[in-house]
């Protein structure tokens, strides 16, 4: 306890307050920070002790959070009722209070003194406010030299209370954020586990359905051929979903590798054109492609993976374009990369959804009300396939006008390694 002759000068007081604000902005550790606030409160208001009480919404009472080290164990067991204590009054009224003669004040909650074998003579208490709401109280007790608490003391304690309130609020927000993050990670793991289990468990029975249905198709009478076709088509659709699931779970489990070989991306684009021509014609969509005549666009990459990426983009372009629309694929060489565009004049994507279309399970329209099938996985798979090559994929779109999807793939492993460095440091 500082004696009067050693009392701090105004400058020294400001220095101490400044130290607390510096600590506040440099640490997220609440306990040492609040302890520093209490110690500084004690020193600057020349009090015998100081403490912080926080409101506990479960009990509807105030609980000591920080106090003088030697009393903390005793204090932590005590709850202070709102209706018959100084701290409770300050908390409920949201106003500071000075009690000069505590011995004769009926509002004092005597249980604290009794439990700690302490003798409270005077109190200065101020509320800790967050957005105009009290979250707790700071109390300084027993002004030294039997003196009275002053308006200066009140101002100092209010400054410290504001600091403590910010620190507590930050810590609570951080805790909430960490909880939300943990929950998100848990849900993400559940999602990955579900995908892995579904892809594994569905594969065998689906193979059996397809095998037997194909076998029966040739044996049964023509009268049932159509029903058999429906069974086979539906099973094929399920097979595509299971394949998507297994592509994702392979990637999640780090089992997916880029198996490089030399192939022509120009030829791959031509193959896409052949593969999707029928679907486009059926929908009366004008479908074309554009690749250089004099350059096969050779790359060293995983043909199957680039095939999956490009097919998913083309399938979407046809799905989300109405009759009379156009879909085009274009591929060209740029230094170190091949660049591929898939363009359509379809329904487009609303601006606020463009940034999310590559997220897993994201669909612009709600799944149950939308006109088109799909699981919201195609683009996330395309992105994964491109990024495994250290390429980049993006989308530009305007609702009602159409969409452009573009990706670039490094031409070989050397270029991919260089791209990995650029894209991870960018």
13 binds ligand ADP (CB under 6 A): no
Are residues 129 and 154 in contact, defined by beta-carbon separation less than 8 angstroms? no
61 vs 380, which CB is nearer to ligand ADP? 380
Q: Among 62-70, 120-128, 278-286, 363-371, which window interacts with ligand ADP (CB under 6 A)?
A: 363-371
Tell the smallest beta-carbon distance from residue 343 to ligand ADP (Å): 9
d(C-alpha 284, C-alpha 395), whole Å: 24
Element (H, E) at 395: strand 392-398
91 vs 287, which CB is nearer to ligand ADP? 287
126 vs 357, which CB is nearer to ligand ADP? 357
Alpha helices in 61-150 (DSSP H): 72-76, 86-93, 110-116
Are residues 47 and 140 in contact, defined by beta-carbon separation less than 8 angstroms? yes
Tokens of 60: 């509807």
Tell the smallest beta-carbon distance from residue 268 to ligand ADP (Å): 19
327 binds ligand ADP (CB under 6 A): no
Of the candidates 86, 347, 409, 411, which one interacts with ligand ADP according to CB under 6 A? 347
What is 5-45 written as a DSSP string? GGPPPHHHHHHHHHHHHHHHHH---HHHHHHHHHHHHHHHT
Residue 380: exposed, middle, or buried by beta-carbon count in 10 A (0-12, 13-18, 19+)? Answer: buried
40 vs 247, which CB is nearer to ligand ADP? 247
Count of chain residues binding ligand ADP (CB under 6 A) = 22
Tell the smallest beta-carbon distance from residue 409 to ligand ADP (Å): 19
Residue 405: exposed, middle, or buried by beta-carbon count in 10 A (0-12, 13-18, 19+)? Answer: buried
Of the candidates 134, 357, 384, 409, which one interacts with ligand ADP according to CB under 6 A? 357
Tell the smallest beta-carbon distance from residue 255 to ligand ADP (Å): 22
Of the candidates 74, 81, 336, 374, which one interacts with ligand ADP according to CB under 6 A? 374
328 vs 378, which CB is nearer to ligand ADP? 378
157 vs 395, which CB is nearer to ligand ADP? 395
376 binds ligand ADP (CB under 6 A): yes
378 binds ligand ADP (CB under 6 A): yes
Contacts of 176 (CB under 8 A, 6+ apart): none
Q: Among 5-13, 251-259, 285-293, 369-377, which window interacts with ligand ADP (CB under 6 A)?
A: 369-377
346 binds ligand ADP (CB under 6 A): yes
Are residues 98 and 92 in contact, defined by beta-carbon separation less than 8 angstroms? no
Bridging pattern class, strands 261-264 and 286-290: unpaired
Q: Among 20-28, 104-112, 265-273, 343-351, which window interacts with ligand ADP (CB under 6 A)?
A: 343-351
Are residues 406 and 323 in contact, defined by beta-carbon separation less than 8 angstroms? no
Q: Among 36-44, 86-94, 101-109, 378-386, which window interacts with ligand ADP (CB under 6 A)?
A: 378-386
341 binds ligand ADP (CB under 6 A): no
Are residues 330 and 403 in contact, defined by beta-carbon separation less than 8 angstroms? no
SS3 label, residue 394: strand
179 vs 282, which CB is nearer to ligand ADP? 282
Of the candidates 71, 307, 363, 420, which one interacts with ligand ADP according to CB under 6 A? 363
d(C-alpha 404, C-alpha 359), whole Å: 17
362 binds ligand ADP (CB under 6 A): yes
d(C-alpha 68, C-alpha 142), whole Å: 13
Tell the smallest beta-carbon distance from residue 399 to ligand ADP (Å): 9
The residue ranges of DSSP E strands in 162-292, in sequence order, are: 261-264, 286-290
Instruction: List beta partners, residue 130.
Output: 133
45 binds ligand ADP (CB under 6 A): no
Of the candidates 122, 159, 403, 415, which one interacts with ligand ADP according to CB under 6 A? 403
67 vs 328, which CB is nearer to ligand ADP? 328
Tokens of 102: 């505590």
Contacts with ligand ADP, residue ranges (CB under 6 A): 312, 316-317, 320, 344, 346-349, 357, 362-365, 374-380, 403
């Amino acid at each position: 306890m500082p004696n009067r002759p050693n009392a701090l000068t105004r400058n020294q007081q400001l220095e101490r307050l400044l130290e607390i604000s510096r600590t506040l902005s440099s640490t997220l550790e609440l306990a040492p920070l609040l302890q520093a606030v209490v110690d500084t409160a004690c020193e600057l208001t020349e009090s015998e002790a100081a403490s912080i009480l926080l409101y506990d919404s479960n009990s509807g009472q105030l609980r000591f959070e920080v106090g003088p080290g030697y009393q903390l164990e005793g204090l932590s067991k005590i709850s202070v009722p709102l209706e018959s204590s100084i701290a409770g009054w300050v908390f409920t009224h949201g106003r500071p209070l000075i009690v000069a003669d505590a011995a004769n004040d009926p509002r004092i909650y005597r249980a604290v003194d009794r439990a700690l074998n302490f003798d409270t003579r005077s109190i200065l208490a101020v509320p800790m406010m967050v957005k105009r709401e009290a979250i707790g109280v700071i109390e300084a007790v027993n002004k030294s030299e039997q003196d009275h608490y002053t308006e200066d003391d009140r101002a100092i304690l209010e400054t410290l209370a504001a600091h403590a309130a910010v620190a507590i609020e930050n810590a609570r927000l951080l805790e909430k954020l960490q909880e939300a993050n943990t929950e998100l990670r848990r849900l993400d793991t559940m999602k990955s586990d579900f995908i892995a289990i579904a892809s594994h468990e569905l594969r065998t029975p689906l193979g059996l359905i397809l095998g037997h249905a194909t076998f029966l198709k040739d044996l049964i009478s023509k009268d049932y051929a159509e029903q058999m076709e429906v069974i086979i088509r539906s099973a094929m659709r399920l097979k595509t979903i299971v394949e998507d699931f297994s592509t994702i779970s392979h990637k999640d489990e780090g089992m997916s590798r880029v198996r490089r070989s030399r192939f022509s991306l120009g030829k791959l684009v031509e193959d896409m054109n052949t593969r999707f021509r029928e679907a486009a014609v059926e929908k009366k969509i004008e479908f074309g492609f554009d690749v250089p005549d004099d350059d096969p666009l050779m790359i060293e990459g995983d043909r199957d993976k680039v095939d999956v990426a490009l097919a998913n983009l083309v399938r979407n372009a046809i799905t989300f374009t109405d009759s009379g629309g156009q879909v085009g694929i274009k591929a060209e060489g740029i230094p170190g990369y091949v660049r591929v565009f898939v363009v359509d004049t379809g329904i487009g994507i609303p601006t606020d959804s463009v940034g999310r279309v590559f997220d897993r399970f994201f669909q612009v329209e709600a799944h149950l009300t939308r006109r088109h099938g799909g699981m919201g996985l195609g683009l996330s798979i395309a992105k994964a396939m491109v990024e495994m090559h250290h390429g980049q994929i993006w989308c530009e779109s305007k609702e009602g006008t159409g969409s452009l999807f573009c990706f670039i793939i490094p031409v070989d492993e050397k270029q991919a390694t260089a791209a990995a460095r650029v894209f991870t440091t960018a």
